[in-house]
Amino acid sequence: MINDSTLAPINENGPAKFQSTSAMSQRGALNLSPDGTRLYVPFGAYGDGGAGWMVSVDTLTPALASAFSGAPSAVAFANGGMWGSGGPAVDLAGNVYATTGNSPNNSQNSPGVWGESLLVWPSSTRLQLAGTYTPWNYCQMDTADTDLAGSTPIIVPDVDPATTSTPHLVTFGSKQGNAYLVDRDNLPGALNQRPLCSSDPSSDVSLIPPDPQPYYGGLSGPLNVFGPYSETCTMGDNARMRTTPAYFKGMDGTNYIFVSGAQKQSECNRTPIPPGLSRLRIVTNPGQPAFLQVDATDSVLSLFSPGPPVVTSNGSTNAIVWVMDANVYRSASLVGAGVPHPVLYALDASTMQPLWSSDSSQLNVGGKYNHATIANGIVFVGTDRIQAFGINPNLGTRPVRINSGDGAVGEFLADTYFAGGHSDTFTNPIDVTGVTNPAPVQVYQSKRTDSAGFTYTIRNLKPGQNYLVRLHFCESAWNGPGQRLFNVSINGVTVLSNFDIFQTGGAMFKAVIQEFTSTPDDSNRIVIQYTAGPAGYALASGLEIVPVSLDGSEGLTRPSLPVENRIRLSRIENNRNAFRRTWRKLNLNRSP
């Protein structure tokens, strides 16, 4: 049994009080030593009501083996809580790594107080510190409740020592939105207390990027990924990151770290905006320390309370990043009929473009900071129950429908697969009378447009398949003919020349459709290019790429080969619509 009386005799950082079961929170994941003889159990406290703990359990006896409190404190106040959802990391040598939350204001470098720190214990039975790291601004973090424990660490697989002087790394983030990289061979902190407070980010002893950063006033310091950077607005709904990073090694040997978070509209505005996912590169040079650099970000995800990213791949190819968002703020209740449902996203790790997302009704309410677990081609998700998604065995050719300039509506995906242009929306009523196969009216109330033109590229189509290309337009700016004239080509062939939406439709806010038949090019793509003509900007309201059968009717073609009932994730086409159509929710057998 884990309680104050059982932990006090084995605490290596006491005296401290393990608060009552109503106060202590065992939220973080558990972890095992490489040989399975030790189970590591982290604790924080609800409502900042006590010191954090790491507990080691002997799995052979079984019995409590050792403990370490985040501070020698008996006060019911936050002090070095170890509450991050990812729990402790364990390297191959059995060393244990954990991040901690805030300590009381003005505790500063008091002996044994380990708030806002990375703590490392050796593989031996007793949890006696073997190394530490504390960020330069931990005093400011304590004051603003900017928990380092919001992000738990991962061990980076060994980097080629010929490429860097720091091949053994650990990485993690924080509620501030920073990402940290630390040399496991040379942990920079003391073993008895935190360093003196600092106001100089360049004094940070992690592996910081060498370039000056504007958010540090032109000084160097730890990499800020989700901003805007703030020393004050970083707690509660203003937190930028409460997730564990994920690692992926590219085909060329590049080491990447994926992090999910909540970029904010402004420093103290809790409203999330993209990006919600960032790909960081571990930059290496022979004989030099490694450091992190933002390599790419998504441009779509506005996440409220995202969980850690999870990467699946076929070795070093076809990588997919999975992110689950609770779809509510940290402070929001999960009780009631109107609570939004979580959303599971899948993104192409190479392009950072969305491939698929669950519908609003597919996942049950719950899942703050939860993540997907993938095994044998099945994606498991924990909300208020265990739910799962798998490959749909009906893998025929499927349509691609895109709402240009706005979000998903009906069977139309949110605007994607474009290059160039900008988006715009309006609310005027749309006339669809007399129009065959109109899109939902919301499609005509948005547009992608630009004087320089833009392109849509639909990839991974079936070779030799005939497709109906249905283009949707609506004139929302000009009230007469000749004021907008532009061109459209499909796979290099001009299909509309000096096209005039108003003249074709006869009025503003009138739905207009143009249809063509095309086959994919040698790269299995259909490329639709919109270019400006002699007047006005090129414009698209939406588009559909629909397979047609031999008799010319819309529909699915038979697969040319038998389809397995279950296909590994690595064999999924990197195409958002194919991805969306091939994934289906599984009905798991469970008790009512």
Domain ranges of the chain: 4-303, 400-547
Residue 572 has pLDDT above 90, yes or no: no
What percent of the chain is modeled with pLDDT above 70?
91
The alpha carbon dihedral of 143, 146, 148, 152 has a sign of positive
pLDDT tens for 128-155 read 999 999 999 999 999 999 999 999 999 9
| Stretch 307-330: mean pLDDT | 93
Question: pLDDT-derived band of residue 392, with 50, 70 and 90 as boundaries?
Answer: low
Q: How far is it, in rounded angstroms, from Cα 188 to Cα 158? A: 19
Predicted confidence at residue 381, as pLDDT, reads: 92
Average pLDDT score, the chain: 90
Q: Determine how many CB atoms are found less than 10 A away from the CB of residue 360.
A: 12
Q: How far is it, in rounded angstroms, from Cα 394 to Cα 416? A: 24
Q: How many CA atoms lie within 13 A of 446 on its CB side?
A: 22
| Stretch 298-311: mean pLDDT | 95
> Tokens for 31?
């972890």
| Stretch 585-589: mean pLDDT | 51
Predicted confidence at residue 552, as pLDDT, reads: 44
| Stretch 208-229: mean pLDDT | 96
| Stretch 419-442: mean pLDDT | 95
Q: How far is it, in rounded angstroms, from Cα 427 to Cα 444? A: 10
Angle (CA) 548-552-556 rounded to 5° is: 30
Question: pLDDT-derived band of residue 4, with 50, 70 and 90 as boundaries?
Answer: very high
Would you state the CATH architecture of domain 400-547? Sandwich (2.60)
Predicted confidence at residue 390, as pLDDT, reads: 80
Q: How far is it, in rounded angstroms, from Cα 534 to Cα 170? A: 57
| Stretch 477-505: mean pLDDT | 97
Predicted confidence at residue 565, as pLDDT, reads: 25
The mean-pLDDT minimum among 71-75, 495-499, 507-511, 551-555 falls in 551-555
pTM listed for this prediction: 0.74
Classify residue 582 by its DSSP letter: H
Question: pLDDT-derived band of residue 124, with 50, 70 and 90 as boundaries?
Answer: confident
What percent of the chain is modeled with pLDDT above 90?
78
pLDDT tens for 20-52 read 999 999 989 999 999 999 999 999 999 889 999
Angle (CA) 558-569-92 rounded to 5° is: 165
Give which of 344, 346, 335 is closest to 382, Cα–Cα: 344
